[in-house]
Amino acid sequence: MSKFWSRLVHGLTPYVPGEQPKLANLVKLNTNENPYPPSPRVMAAVQAELGEDGARLRLYPDPNADGLKAAVAREFGVQAKEVFVGNGSDEVLAHVFQALLKHDQPILFPDITYSFYPVYCGLYGIDYRAVPLAEDFSLRVEDYRQPNGGIIFPNPNAPTGRLLSLAEIESLLAGNPGSVVVIDEAYVDFGGESAVALVHRFPNLLVVHTFSKSRSLAGLRVGFAVGHADLIEALERVKNSFNSYPLDRLALAGAVAALEDREHFERTRQAVIATREKLTAELAVLGFEVLPSAANFVFARHPQRDAAQLAAQLRERSIIVRHFKQPRIDQFLRITVGTDQECAALTSALHEILA
């Protein structure tokens, strides 16, 4: 029935999310979910919000999410008016593209990066220029000293996992005072330093976070952005013209509880980091080239084996990893850092395949 589609829909190439297969005894290392459950405080907060009879669910949630904004502000040392929240960082980013990145000049982002960026450009009619990463897949700040309508990239980058230092981000901001610079920090808690520390010095900086990775709340869909109040106001205007109640009651309660349990956050993220370093070393012993990663995944290729075939052979053993058919990276596998047991199953299977 595509005859009823609008002209816009005909021209869209949608984002393809990571596969969510429904298989028994699956080792799922393809969508960068946290291998550990969220804080027990999250469960308690969600249950408390439900109450005994769930009667609160008949009422709309707080449209401004004031409690969550206040919790984020406390965590990062900013004001609540400098915080924006939404249904996962993807929704936050969608509003960012529409509110802050739709200008006459093309925006800039890396040629190898989060593949939702060009999708948003197509959806909102935004011109963009993909800036090639270096041969070692690092981002070169000097390449972004050119006229632009805004800059966006993940840090650490996805799917490469490579990190840009805070000093390099500061240099990039100083070189682009007339453009909004959006740092997508979905994975920063696994090895980086947040650029939120720079928002009070650079009014053109917006930092986007998610609760899906380091807070283990991918199923609740909570994301936020921190930046100058003028940037936040633009996002609020778009949000309130689209969906005035984006976060439900359970997500709001669970997200606040997750922020308040600093001990659980530190313990689980350090466990992921330790497993990542062990996995990186074991893959290197197997002959893989593994890019330096500051995320909860590794990006690796084997010089003698085709990546697509490796992914297929792992699937036969009920182990799922992510393979991209994109130029420059079609011989890499992106492997989520799971538990020690899950990563041991992966390396054992690779020993068998490579033998």
Q: Go through the chain and tell me how many residues it has.
A: 355
Return the structure tokens found at 286.
């197997």
What is the pLDDT, as a whole number, of residue 1? 58
Domain coordinates in residue numbering, the chain: 19-37+263-354, 40-260
In 189-263 the beta strands, taken as DSSP E runs, fall at 205-210, 223-227
What is the pLDDT, as a whole number, of residue 8? 87
CB 77 within 8 A of CB 264: no
What is the pLDDT, as a whole number, of residue 247? 97
What is the pLDDT, as a whole number, of residue 7? 86
Short-list 202, 218, 209, 205, CA closest to 100 = 205
Return the structure tokens found at 61.
């949630």
Q: Superfamily for 19-37+263-354?
A: Aspartate Aminotransferase, domain 1 (3.90.1150.10)
Short-list 277, 221, 271, 282, CA closest to 250 = 221
pTM: 0.95
CATH 3.40.50.720 for domain 40-260: no
Phi/psi-derived region of residue 17, left when phi > 0, alpha when psi is between -120 and 50, beta in every other case: beta
Q: Rounded to the nearest 5°, which phi and psi values hold at 313? A: -70, -35
| pLDDT profile of the chain (355 residues), mean per 10 | 83 80 84 97 96 91 97 98 97 98 97 96 96 98 97 98 98 97 98 97 98 98 98 97 94 98 98 98 98 98 97 96 95 98 98 95
